[in-house]
Amino acid sequence: MNYVEGAGLQLLTESDLAAIHEATLKVLEQAGLKVFGDEALEIYSAAGCEVDKQNNIVKIPRHLVEEAISASPGSILLAARDPRYDVILEGKKVIFTNFGTGTMIQDAETGELRPSTKADLADTARICDAIDEVDIYTIAVTAQDAPEATRELHEAEAVLNNTVKHFGHDTHCAETTRRFIEMGAAVAGGMDKLRERPLISMGTCPNSPLELHTNNTEVIIECARAGIPIDILSMAMAGGTSPVTLAGTLVVTNAEILGGIALAQLVRKGTPVIYGSSSTILDLLYTTTPVGAPEHGMISAAVAQLGHYYQIPTDVGGT
C-alpha cells in the first residue's frame, strides 16, 4: 500500500488490478452468478450467456462483460432540482453523500433511541439539504411508521419535499421502481426531462456471495429502460459471505457488480451505472459487520482503484 501524489491511496498495483479482473472474468464465465427473475434470465440467455434455469445459474462470457464495461459511461450527471447542486461523477472527482439506511434514531427532544419515522426522514433530508459538504442525499433512515407495501414511496415523498439536491433511493421491486420513477418525472416535468436531467437515481445491493435476486434484477432492468442512473453496490463480508482474504473478497465484489452492470447494458446500451461497494469484514468474535474497521477502508480504496481501472464512476462506503 502506498500514497501516490495526484492518485491518492494505492492499495493495488497495475498487475494486481489485472489479476483481479482476470479472476473475475473466470468466475463469471466458469462458475457464474445465481440469478433470479424470469425476465433477467431471458435477457442473459438472449445475449448468449449459458443459463441454467433449473438452478438459476448464469455464466457470462468474458466478451459480454468487457463489452458492458466499455458501454458504461465514464461521466454521469446526477442532477438536482436546483441546478446549483448538480453533480457530475467522473474520473477521480470526489463527492460526498450521507450514510444510510438507519432503522433507529436518537430522539432530539427526549434522547430516547427509537425506531425511525417518516418525519425523521424528512428532517434528515432538510439537514443534509443545508449542509454544503453533502453533495447528494440518500435515505438516511427508514420510514417505519409507513405501510410496508408503500414504504419506499412514502420515503420518496418525504425526501422530494425536503431537499433540492439529487436524491438516490433504494427500491426493491419493479412496481415500486416504476412508481418512484413516475414521481421523479412529475417533479422534473416529464419523462423526457427526467432522462435529460436525472433528479433521482437508484441503488441495489447483490446478495453475497454471487447472487442477483429478483429485487436486484427488476430494479436494474427498470432503471436501464428509463435511462435512470443505477448504483450496483456489493456488500460482501470477508470471512462471512466472501473469502476471508481481501483479494478473494475483491473478486467476489467485482463479479457481483460487473454481473449487474452486464444486465443493465444488455437492456439498454449506455445505461449510466455506478460501480459501488460497501464491502467490509465479518467480525468473527462478535458476528457483526463493522463498517469502521480498517479493512473496510482498505477494501473501499481497492474498489475505488477498480472503478478507475474500468473508467466507471464509483461509490464506496466511508469509515
Contact 167, 81 (CB under 8 A): no
> So what's the pLDDT on residue 235?
94
Q: Give domain status of residue 85, yes or no.
A: no
- Three-state secondary structure call for residue 264: helix
Q: What are phi and psi of 75, to 5 degrees?
A: -140, 130
- Considering its fold, how many domains does the chain have in total? 1
Q: Give domain status of residue 296, yes or no.
A: yes
- pTM for this structure? 0.94
Q: Give domain status of residue 113, yes or no.
A: no
* pLDDT tens by residue, 192-220: 999 999 999 999 999 999 999 999 999 99
Average pLDDT, integer, range 71-83: 98
> Tell me, what CATH number does 75's domain have?
3.20.20.480
Q: Give domain status of residue 99, yes or no.
A: no
Q: Give domain status of residue 15, yes or no.
A: yes
Does 284 have pLDDT greater than 90? no
**How many H helices and E strands in the chain?**
10, 18
Rounded CA separation 25/262 (Å): 12
The residue assigned the cell 416535468 is 189
Tell me the one-letter amino acid at 50: E
> So what's the pLDDT on residue 308?
95
Determine the structural domain holding residue 256 and report its residue range: 2-79+166-316
* Nearest Cα to Cα of residue 75 among 251, 250, 274: 274
Does 310 have pLDDT greater than 70? yes
Q: Give domain status of residue 130, yes or no.
A: no
Q: Give domain status of residue 266, yes or no.
A: yes
Convert 97-109 to b/e letters by CB count within 10 Å (16 or more is b): bbebebeebeeee
> So what's the pLDDT on residue 7?
55
Rounded CA separation 111/200 (Å): 33
Rounded CA separation 236/224 (Å): 24
Instruction: Give the helix ranges, DSSP H, for 72-164.
Output: 118-130, 151-160
Strand partners, 97: 136
Rounded CA separation 290/117 (Å): 25
Q: Give domain status of residue 239, yes or no.
A: yes
Q: How confident is the model at residue 4 (pLDDT cuts 50, 70, 90)?
A: low
